[in-house]
Structure 1
């Protein structure tokens, strides 16, 4: 179980609670930060219960495994007592509960929960090795995953220069139906071509793309392209573009990245992408919606791409 967690998350968890569910209408996993012992008030523990066990209850999970990755055994024990009570109230069986500090693990359900624990090393576990080879486990920590989407100053400067030289920075984003449809058609066509080719836009193309994506209906042209079938390719495309995006224009590409990551089954990256959006625009509507889907553990199959983003817009000739 300790080997499965990093494979599911795509990074090695630290100071985290990882929950795996079984017997649900659709089994899922979830991760949340483990609060330090000194801040674990009753309100904080209730929030842990709602964020982790709320989706488990809604999806009718029958069994859970709870893994506490931390060097603070006391914090793990306090959080586990609260979550165990929540499981009992919900009729959910705790199959296993382990605290792991990277070197030793202890069973929090057994008499050895205060003992030093049993040595372990999952680095050579077949699950881990396969994930490393396939590229599914690429980050040593969540902080490293977050850093992978940080801005690249040199790349951002190139896009900013293109925005200025093209005059886009002095223009408004599309607002009328005809211009939205025209730019949306271009976005739909060009993003589809670049994603299929595994290529990145030039600075000039990136500048135009990021500028017109400020219009939500134009953004929807790119959104409509994302499907489970090719979600991984969209994740690569939008990940690269987010790193090139000036801060003020981050919300649209970051949210599209989050959506693609959700469709690809990578909830951890989806949350990190939403964090990038929230830093600029906390109330960005599509990001708020995606956050609610992730928090409720809604499966990617819930949504299908390919919708008509241009419905109701005026026609464009030529």
Structure 2
């Protein structure tokens, strides 16, 4: 097979690259995605006479072969219709199936086990009048073509992948300043629940739910006060994270461990519960640029890791915030991983759905950034007006307020804010999404 594919590589590269044959396609995959995929179906649209790379999709390989026909049809339809919305129908598609052998399994056995999935994907794309030009299986450092019958270039034992950093795509990516952020497995590990101190964290989450949920359900003002307290706590933790010295030689995992050590269990629990409120979460999304972005991203990742035990799916909120900040700051691979994790926990989480679709379709996050800036500016202007008015008003009498540990809360105003879920005898808030 000697089809030529032109690509500008990941979105920031400008110089055109010509890839010839399955070997160069296989070697280019980490640079096209920004990470090395594991246990993944990857589909990339090709446009124009020379096969310019367009939209791309990644999905974990379903464990049950019974799911493969439906998944193949859904992925093909999503990639083709998404490409049409952005401009042109693809001229073709390239498919990658990436999975390392399981216990007692060889890479060749992975190739054969996944062959029916490759055929399903080819058939699904063909039914939409878009041919699959190449379908590759990548396993245990080797690759095979499901499409090329020529054993001279695609032998039965497969071909070894090029050494990292030695392919034509690697050279072009290095020139463009594009980095591959490790494997998908490594990136996801930064967002998974912690495996140490889980009992203490779960106990803190239970205590936070018992303390905060009654206040949120007490009325609109109670929910508003919890929201303000949540945001104030987050601001303080961002300052703490930003002020902590970084040790570059410790790598990303070392940075994550350092961030975890900066946050008390009770603080993490209060944030987890408070961020379930949609209004609070949306205001937290305003920390997405400038000096606020990096500490915010590190905080949301750390909070996601503290969602343990029966609170695991509460991580959808901080994961979505992490994905948003990553996308806003140009880290599209990191954004896709965080948003994908959020949607696996809660497939109906609307904010994550919208961000994931926009990121995958290559939209510019500036429109949302501008909207959040406007909201923040309007609220700050309104706050100045409210503070000026309050200075002219007489103080409330004790009969009109109820003093609590966090300030004045008027009882019996409004109704429950958000939704609640029963969890092992505790109540945890889940807001509108």
Same fold (TM over 0.5): yes
Counterpart among 239, 244, 247 of residue 306 in structure 2: 244
Deviations 1:5-32 (A, max 9, x none): 2344455434432223344999333212
CA RMSD of aligned residues (A): 4.5
Note if 1:98 corresponds to 2:163.
Answer: no
Which residue in the other structure is 2:280 paired with?
218
Q: How far did residue 119 of structure 1 move?
A: 1.9
List aligned pairs for 1:290-305, cutoff 5 A. 290-293=355-358, 297=361, 299-301=363-365, 303-304=368-369, 305=372
Question: Does 1:121 pair with 2:186?
Answer: no
Alignment of 1:186-197 (within 5 A): 186=232, 189-190=235-236, 193=239, 196-197=242-243
- The yes-or-no answer on 1:202 pairing with 2:263 is yes
The 3 A distance-change label for structure 1 pair 243 and 90 is: same
C-alpha distance in 1, partners of 2:193/2:302?
10
The gaps in structure 1 that reach 5 residues or longer are none
How far apart are the structure 2 equivalents of 1:22 and 1:86? 16
Distance 1:137 1:21 in 2: 23
Q: Residue 322 of structure 2: which of 237, 257, 270 is its match?
A: 257
Q: Which runs of 5+ in 2 are unaligned?
A: 1-24, 100-106, 246-258, 392-433
SS at match of 1:28: strand
Alpha-carbon spacing, 1:75–1:40, altered in 2? closer, same or farther (3 Å): farther
**Alpha-carbon distance in 1 for matches of 2:69, 2:345:** 30
Q: Counterpart of 1:2 in 2: which secondary structure?
A: helix
Scaled by the length of structure 1, the TM-score of the pair is 0.72
* 2:149 counterpart SS class: coil
1:270 aligned residue: 338
Q: Cα 1:231–1:21, aligned 2, differ >3 Å: closer, same or farther?
A: farther
Deviation at 1:283, TM superposition (A): 4.0
Alpha-carbon spacing, 1:27–1:232, altered in 2? closer, same or farther (3 Å): farther
For 1:239 and 1:23, the matched residues in 2 are separated by 36
Q: Which residue of 1 aligns with 2:96?
A: 67
Instruction: Report the CA distance shift for 1:184/1:69 in structure 2 as closer, same or farther (over 3 A).
Output: closer
CA distance in 1, matches of 2:203, 2:345: 22
Superposed CA deviations along residues 76-95 of structure 1, whole A, max 9, x for unmatched, are: 44344443445455554645
Q: Which residue number corresponds to residue 212 of structure 2?
A: 171
- Aligned position for 2:403: none
Cα 1:251–1:97 shift into 2, 3 Å: closer
After TM superposition, the score normalised by the length of structure 2 is 0.56
Q: Match of 1:308?
A: 375
Whether 1:151 aligns to 2:193 is yes
User: Which structure's CA Rg is the greater one?
Assistant: 2
